[in-house]
Amino acid sequence: MQENEQHLLRMNMLKQMEALMATWDGTLESAGKLISENKKNMLQLKQLETQSAANPLGTYNETEKNIIEGIIHQQEKMVHQIKIERESLLNRMKQINQKDKVISNYVSANRAPMFIDKGL
């Protein structure tokens, strides 16, 4: 594969990744899907660069750098959203556990009545 073709292929992969990241709707579910889909693209990009190890592609041009920066920025936003959601979920779990503890301490379980025979 010629160097120009490799640059075009790399640019196409980066644009696919950028377009995929632009489809994020801000939800946690879509963030997970997008990150896993982009992981495939990143592996292909890495494979392209390792295939051309004998004939290196050289440094990234400004357009490619801008696309990569945009992808990184979008992924950072996704990771931040995931962390916020994780903290919120952990707090809710703690509240539920605390509620269960309070209930178990204040509500007595139904016990069968006990009769003590005092010889009456």
Span 65-82, pLDDT tens digits: 899 899 999 989 998 998
Helix/strand/coil (H/E/C) assignment for every residue in the chain? CCHHHHHHHHHHHHHHHHHHHHCCCCCHHHHHHHHHHHHHHHHHHHHHHHHCCCCCCCCCCHHHHHHHHHHHHHHHHHHHHHHHHHHHHHHHHHHHHHHHHHHHHHCCCCCCCCCCCCCC
Residue 116 domain flag: no
- The pLDDT score that the predictor gives to residue 115 is 73
Query: What pLDDT, on a 0 to 100 scale, did the predictor assign at position 54?
Result: 55
Instruction: Give residue 91's pLDDT.
Output: 92
Structural domain includes residue 115:
no
Domain count for the chain: 1
Report the pLDDT value the prediction gives residue 107, as an integer from 0 to 100: 62
- 68 is in which domain, residue-wise? 3-106
Q: Extract the residue ranges of the chain whose pLDDT is less than 70.
A: 1-3, 52-58, 107-111, 119-120
